[in-house]
Amino acid sequence: MTFDLSKIVRPRIFSLEPYRCARDDFKEGILLDANENPHGPTLKDTKGYSDLNRYPDPHQLGFKTKIAGLRNAQSSFKNENLDPLTSDNVCLGVGSDESIDALIRACCVPGKEKILVMPPTYGMYSVCSDINDVDLVKVPLVVEDNSFQMNLPLVLETLKNDKSIKLVFITSPGNPTGALVDPKKIEELASQWQSGIVVVDEAYIDFAVTGGSAAPLVNKFPNVAVLQTLSKSFGLAGVRLGLTFTSKQLSKVLNAMKAPYNISSLTSEIALRAMEPESIEIMKNTVHEVIEQRGRVLKELTSLDQVSNTQIGGLDANFIMVQILDSDSKPCNRLAKTLYSKLATESKVVTRFRGTEYGCVGCLRITIGTKDENDHLVKEFTKILENLKN
């Protein structure tokens, strides 16, 4: 079976002509074409912000080229002779959430077609499906062995039996699981299912020590899309920049759909600075520090009496999950929720209670902070658990 994107993307979107904006034709000279304010931004101090009265670059080719080069250099598939990623493989969005929404709008007819997700997983998939009136099919991850891996046989069986599914979302590393999904299983799914798009959400990929990004696979499998963000490893959550790596054909579709100037000039400038060699080195150093602290925090917390000494999920993200136990050594949501609340209100340490997620009973998800923040976390975590035990 040959993959045919025209049968996956909604017909009107597949043939959509992108809006031609003022900056598509000319970028220099006396610019009287876009109805901008020629007097500059209305700020008391315009130092460093003199061009904000002009619309931003609608294409962001500089950043796209640099991020594609970075992922080519970090590829785990260098021995497979894949075509390198270029700017034509990239579409940008306001955070990964816009990218998720765009893929659903592009591929799923409201009220008729569906997406498949693998709980426990990122909550925005269901939010976006509801907004777009697209049903959600759930095939849980394997939790019995604590691997939180994709149940590939069940996923393939579900896709075979339901032809209305157009997108499969795989969070790798998972959220809240922290586990990298086996790349070979992703490749196998992409090779066996040609009736939709396999979307790999890699928000935390730079924290994974056992494997690299799946982004280069988009030039091997035209039915694969890979989501990434500058929010996590690059520490730029505030600029709201997400990106989608896809085949050049699908990227053209997504770029035609987006708002003409969806990435601001400020975001663009900071994103380009993040691609400079010195910035990449800083990113790698902070990732290394997070990984070191991740192991240390996990070891200290799981040594406590009322915390399971079994690692819950994986160690491939900038957070861990720990499971709180009752006096009978059973996972306990009541105790976990009390601990979560007291940490936030009494100790001013905010974590996430994840006990209602599939396979995560009694679990707290804890982001790895600085060394000082982690010291405070461990101290307060230990103190509150001791008090609850007494």
Beta strands at 224-229 and 197-201: parallel, antiparallel or unpaired? parallel
Crossing angle of helices 265-274 and 277-302, rounded to 10° = 80
Q: What is the pTM of this model?
A: 0.95
Provide mean pLDDT across the span 212-230. 95
* Residue that the structure tokens 């306990």 belong to: 332
For residue 365, pLDDT beyond 70: yes
- Which residues does 160 contact at the CB level (< 8 Å), separation at least 6? none
Provide mean pLDDT across the span 329-343. 97
Cα 6 to the center of its chain, rounded Å: 26
Residue 77 is predicted with a pLDDT of: 67
- Kind plus residue range of the DSSP H or E element containing 336: helix 333-345
Residue 120 is predicted with a pLDDT of: 97
Burial of 335 (0-12, 13-18, 19+ CB in 10 A): buried
Provide mean pLDDT across the span 182-204. 96
Provide mean pLDDT across the span 15-23. 87
| Strand blocks (E) in 197-307 | 197-201, 224-229, 242-245
Q: What is the CATH number of domain 5-21+58-275?
A: 3.40.640.10
Q: Helix or strand or coil: residue 22? A: helix
- Which residues does 327 contact at the CB level (< 8 Å), separation at least 6? 389
Residue 78 is predicted with a pLDDT of: 61
For residue 190, pLDDT beyond 90: yes
The pair of structure tokens assigned to 246 is: 């896809």
Residues 12-39 as b/e (b if ≥16 CB within 10 A, e otherwise) read eebeeeeeeebbeeeeeeeeeeeeeeee
- 280-389 matches 5-21+58-275 in CATH topology: no
Q: Helix or strand or coil: residue 285? A: helix
For residue 74, pLDDT beyond 70: yes
Residue 208 is predicted with a pLDDT of: 94
Domains of the chain, by residue range, sit at: 5-21+58-275, 280-389
Name the amino acid, one letter, at 125.
Y
For residue 43, pLDDT beyond 90: no
pLDDT-derived band at 389 (thresholds 50, 70, 90) equals: confident
d(CA 260, CA 18): 8
Order across the sheet with 242-245: list the strands. 90-93, 242-245, 224-229, 197-201, 165-171, 114-117, 135-138
Query: Which of 19-28, 161-170, 275-284, 340-349 has the weakest average pLDDT?
Result: 19-28
Q: Tens of pLDDT along 276-320? A: 999 999 999 999 999 999 999 999 999 999 999 988 999 999 999
d(CA 182, CA 142): 12
Distances (CA, A) of 161 to 69, 148, 158, 164, 165: 39, 24, 5, 9, 10
When the pLDDT of each residue in the chain is averaged and rounded to a whole number, the result is: 94
Q: How far from each other are the two terminal CA atoms of the chain, in whole angstroms?
A: 63
Q: Tens of pLDDT along 119-133? A: 999 999 999 999 999
In this structure, are residues 150 and 183 in contact, taking their beta carbons and an 8 Å threshold? no
Name the amino acid, one letter, at 59.
H
In this structure, are residues 151 and 142 in contact, taking their beta carbons and an 8 Å threshold? yes
For residue 12, pLDDT beyond 90: yes
d(CA 214, CA 216): 6
For residue 48, pLDDT beyond 80: no
Name the amino acid, one letter, at 11.
P
pLDDT-derived band at 212 (thresholds 50, 70, 90) equals: confident
Residue 156 is predicted with a pLDDT of: 98
Provide mean pLDDT across the span 262-272. 95
- Which residues does 266 contact at the CB level (< 8 Å), separation at least 6? 52, 239
Distances (CA, A) of 261 to 72, 80, 88, 206, 273: 27, 36, 17, 28, 20
Provide mean pLDDT across the span 204-210. 92
For residue 232, pLDDT beyond 70: yes
The pair of structure tokens assigned to 204 is: 């935390």
How is domain 280-389 classified at the architecture level of CATH? Answer: Alpha-Beta Complex (3.90)
Provide mean pLDDT across the span 57-83. 86
